[in-house]
Each structure stands twice: as structure tokens, then as C-alpha cells.
Amino acid sequence: QAWTQKYIVKNYFYYYLFKFSAALGEEIFYITFLPFIYWNVDHSVSRRMIIVWSIVMYIGQVSKDILKWPRPLSPPVVKLEMRTDAEYGMPSTHAMAATAISFSFFIATVNQYKYPFELGLAAALVFSTLVCLSRLYTGMHTVLDVIGGALISAVLLVLLYPAWDTIDHLLLTSPFCPLLSIVVPLVLCYNYPKLDYYSPTRGDTTTILGAGAGATVGFWLNNQYAVPAYTSDNFQFGFHLITSKTVVLMLARFFVGICVVLLTRQLMKSMVLGMLGYRYNFSIGDLEARRQLEVEVPYKFITYSSVGFSATVLVPLLHELLGLM
């Protein structure tokens, strides 16, 4: 049973700033920001970010369970979160995700969109730094965990960058893409490092790989049967192009899209859990049963691959039908 240390908030500015910053490394951010980029900014940028995010997060999560470095002891630190406390500490996957997402967005857009280089670099640095500092403030990581996570992510970005275009081209054009996009992540999830006790890392990893798999299949389908990626016009983002009409359209696309994504997640979650509950004879509310490998992996993978597919295929079709393109 989790024990929560009592604390008194003396500085509400830092408290809410870092609680908000911590949320930038969690599902609520991924499920809103990454689709927003796909629906409103640029498909190619979104594809690169999702691929980098999936690879970086998988390596980070697996590294935790191989290294098995404990999180900071409480006391002396005060922990403001409890959900991830069962996970190991090194590396900080919040730091890895923040570094990967902010700098992959910066690298992918800096040469093709009209904004100052210094502004983009500063935004990436501020975003990743806030998330990194939030892990220290909330008592979830040591300085070494955070530095390690950011450095690993930076090295992976440097290694992946030369292959970005090649990977992107293969994912869009290879006839084997849909099969490999499903099989490879599933094999990785089922062969995740085993721990002596339950940790959310396997479930979170399955969620991330599932979302990436569904999105990748969606990218391939769109390129094959909808609009070829290399012939479509990109929305050229620039400060001078932002008008009230553009903002309204972007918000409308986002609102419609997020409703579809959340509805998909809820429907698939209920349906898949119901089927697995029938197959393995457990009730949907049985948390212990849902943590078993044969339940957790298919439940999370099918649910979130459906979310990724919905965001990349169904939502754009709905946008077109509603005249929001």
C-alpha cells in the first residue's frame, strides 16, 4: 500500500509550474500534442516525432528495468506523485521524452518553416528543462537520473537523425510496413524484461508502442490510398500566416479530433477488456488480473493502436467531411 508523505505548499507558483511541467511528460500530453501537430501543422514533422518518441521511450523504459536503480528515498525527499513510484529511477523517461519531443520538433521544422532559429532553440530548451526540473521538484528522480535521461535522448537523436528520411520513406512505401509495425512492437512487449514485482513500465511501454504502431499503419494507408505524402502540400507555418480564421480552424480540428480519439480509447478499452475478461474469466474491475502479461499487453496494445490509427486515418476523414481541411 502506497504511503504518502504529508507536505505543506509554501510556494504555489513553483508547485503548479512543476506539477504542470510534469504532466508534459505523461499520456495527457502525448494524446493531445502529437495529434495536434498531425492535424494542424505538418504530417512529416508528426511522423518523425512519433517514431523518435516510440524508440526513445522503449529504450528508456527497458533501461529502467535492466539497471534497477532505485528512486530517491522518501524521506528525506517528499514525493508529490505515487503512480510511477513503483518504477525504477534511472533514466528519467520524462527527461528523455521531453528532450526527444522538443528537439525533434525543432530539428524537423527549423529549416522549412519561417521562425527565428534562436526562438525555436530557446523553446526546446525551456520545455525540456521545465520537465527535467519537475522530476526533481516532485521528488521522483535524482539529478543523475534526469541528466542521464536527457543525455541518452540526445545521443539517440544524433544517431537517428541521419536515418530520418530513410526510415520515413520505408514506413510510407514498404509493403511490409503494416505487418512489421504490428509484429515488432508486440514481440518487444511480450518479451519485456521480467521483474520480481509489478511495475507500470511494461504497461506504459505497451501503450506507447501500440500508439506508435497504429499511427504508423495509418501513415502507410494514407500514403497508399489517400494523399501521397510526397506530393501533398504542407501547411507552411509562419507567424504572418496566423489569422483568426486559421486559429478557429485549428481549434475546431483539434476539438473534433480529440473527441474521436477519447471515444475510440474508451470504446476499445471496454470492448477489449470485456473480451479478455470472458476469455480468462475475470471481472473488468479486477486490477490484479489486468496486470497479468496475457491481459495487459493485448489490452493496452489493441486499445492504443486503435487510438493511433483513429488519429491518423479516421480523424482526417472526418475533418474532410466536416469541411475543416
Residue 48 belongs to some domain of the structure: yes
pLDDT in tens, 128-140: 888 888 887 777 7
Tell me the whole-structure pTM to 2 decimals. Answer: 0.82
% the chain with pLDDT above 70: 87
Residue 38 confidence (pLDDT):
87
Active-site residue, selected from the candidate residues 94, 169, 240, 319: 94
**What average pLDDT does the segment 37-61 reach?**
87
Q: Which residues contact 305 (CB under 8 A, 6 or more apart)?
A: 182, 210, 211, 213, 214, 217
Count of domains observed in the chain: 1
pLDDT at 3 over 60: no
H or E segment and range at residue 64? helix 43-67
Is 319 among the residues known to form the active site?
no
Residue 4 belongs to some domain of the structure: no
Nearest to 104 by CA among 120, 82, 116: 120
Residue 250 belongs to some domain of the structure: yes
Is 141 among the residues known to form the active site?
yes
Residue 2 belongs to some domain of the structure: no
- Domain extent at residue 244: 12-322
Residue 182 confidence (pLDDT):
93
Residue 7 belongs to some domain of the structure: no
pLDDT in tens, 195-221: 777 778 888 899 999 999 999 999 998
Residue 105 belongs to some domain of the structure: yes
Residue 6 belongs to some domain of the structure: no
Residue 5 belongs to some domain of the structure: no
